[in-house]
Amino acid sequence: MADLINKGNQYIKENADKVNPEYRLTYHLMPPVGWMNDPNGFCYYKGEYHLFYQHYPYEAKWNTMHWGHAVTEDLIKWKDLEIALAPDKEYDKEGCFSGTALIEEERLNLFYTCVNKRKGEYAQEQALAYSEDGIHFVKHKNNPIIPSSLLPDDIYTGDFRDPKIFKEGDTYYCITVAKDKEDTGRALLYQSKDKINWSFVSDILPKNKDFGTMLECPDYFKLDEKAVLFFSVIDLKKDGYRFINRQSPVYMIGSYKEHFFDCEIWDEIDMGFDFYAHQTTLTKDGRRIMTAWMQAWDEAMPTSYLGHGWAGAMILPREIILKGNLLYQQPVREIKNYRQNGQTYQNLLLNEKSGILSLEGIYGKSMELNVIADMKQSDSFTIHLMKTEEEECLLTYNKKKGIIRFDREHGGEKIESVHFEKPSYREFPLELENNKLKLQIFIDTCSIEIFLQDGLRTITSVVYPKKKGYGVAFSCEGGVVLEQVEKWDIKL
């Protein structure tokens, strides 16, 4: 088992140039070959941002998890590194699942879930690996440091994972997620003075049967004066327009005192189809940056079923900002350094006679598109994205209903729901500001990320166009003033 890292690295070396380039993204992180899911251990260490991820190098399908690894100086341009963790110990031989990083002086510590089988039963426990160079990791000799024997009696040993580690004063804390024997998702807090010997403290949230059958991938941090918790929640009860996917990314804002999180407000963090397992780090200049897996578990992945040899990507990293009790998201400002070939139009009048209007120079396979539309005289405005004669995705604002809708039904390759029916569109209420709709849209080959009203809401989805025209067009009812249409190619 000892050589699993070398074996994986060798495989990647020999096979990375065999992946089918058709849907490879240009400014998003993807695995060099094989499978990627959750971001792990996102951190800033010795002058670079490190991002690890759930990885199976040998196939574009989920399997025994490794930790893939990439670094970047500016959160945009990534460099692939060697595999950081492979399932090469008895206690993690069923996989090295998700976790987080903690930097202490020269040392980069990774806390991850080690999965094993005891007497035929799966056990998930927590383990520690550390490194002095940020590339080669040593697994601690006392692993698993949080064994399943430290679980409260009412928790399944098979669902106890995704440690989020942090330090307050001289005490280390670890939030882990778990499923209890009544199929309710729980968030458990452990504490330790030395990172090796842990004890159970409390549930940090009240038990709530309506809050999913399993929580995954917790993150916890302070933003301004508030405490923020992230979870990715399985089977969260649908609520009108929210939580439509089988697994939903959630944020909670409140206060954290005496080992208990008091939630004041919580919501879905992204209203698209493909955003999960979000995790953050602090930049050297103090910004809170989030990444996430740009994919959902409950849908088929074209690059996998078409045999392209790779599957999964991360979102464009986003800064998160609190305005009052609302969480805003902005693409990291470093993306601006990669803008090229700018095209701008101002104050264009669009009406029903314009039909479906495209504008010279406004299209692109890897681009940023910024639009401000004044809808004072209009009830409905649509942007057609990734458009050709036969294919397109539609983003429509219906002013009478106050609803924005993203529809990928005719986007290209089929993205079938795996477990249950889900519609090909998502829609939700959104307020205009002085009748204006403000959009910032990032397209990259097979992804669409939309920031609405300065990042008050976002919609992230994968779309695999077969025709690859990557056109853009506008249509409306009544008259819309396109105050601004601005496009850049994004080139690395």
DSSP assigned state of 320: E
Alpha carbon distance 438, 391 (integer Å): 24
Which positions from 455 through 484 interact with ligand FRU, judged by CB under 6 A?
none
Q: State the chain's maximal CA–CA distance in angstroms.
A: 72
- 404-408 — which CB contacts under 8 Å span 24+ positions? 404/428, 404/429, 404/430, 404/437, 404/452, 404/457, 406/271, 406/272, 406/448, 406/450, 406/459, 406/461, 408/273, 408/461, 408/463
Q: Which of 67, 134, 147, 162 binds ligand FRU (CB under 6 A)?
A: 162
Question: Judged by CB, which is closer to ligand FRU: 5, or 115?
Answer: 115
Which positions from 202 through 221 interact with ligand FRU, judged by CB under 6 A?
216-217
Question: Judged by CB, which is closer to ligand FRU: 246, or 438?
Answer: 246
Q: Which of 28, 66, 89, 161 binds ligand FRU (CB under 6 A)?
A: 161
Strands 288-293 and 310-311 turn out to be: unpaired
Q: Which of 109, 113, 245, 281 binds ligand FRU (CB under 6 A)?
A: 113
Question: Judged by CB, which is closer to ligand FRU: 99, or 465?
Answer: 99
Alpha carbon distance 351, 373 (integer Å): 12
Alpha carbon distance 111, 109 (integer Å): 7
Q: Which of 33, 151, 277, 371 binds ligand FRU (CB under 6 A)?
A: 277
Structure tokens at 138: 């040593």
Strands 34-45 and 310-311 turn out to be: parallel
Which positions from 90 through 109 interact with ligand FRU, judged by CB under 6 A?
97-98
Q: Which residue has the tokens 């969260």?
A: 236
Q: How far is the CB of 297 from ligand FRU (least distance, A)?
A: 6
Question: Judged by CB, which is closer to ligand FRU: 87, or 147?
Answer: 87
Question: Judged by CB, which is closer to ligand FRU: 83, or 277?
Answer: 277
The 52-71 contact track toward ligand FRU, x by CB under 6 A, reads --x----------x------
Question: Judged by CB, which is closer to ligand FRU: 126, or 281?
Answer: 126
Q: How far is the CB of 382 from ligand FRU (least distance, A)?
A: 33
Single out the residue of 204, 112, 114, 206 nearest to residue 165, CA to CA: 112
**Binding stretches for ligand FRU (CB under 6 A):** 37-38, 54, 65, 97-98, 113, 161-162, 216-217, 276-277
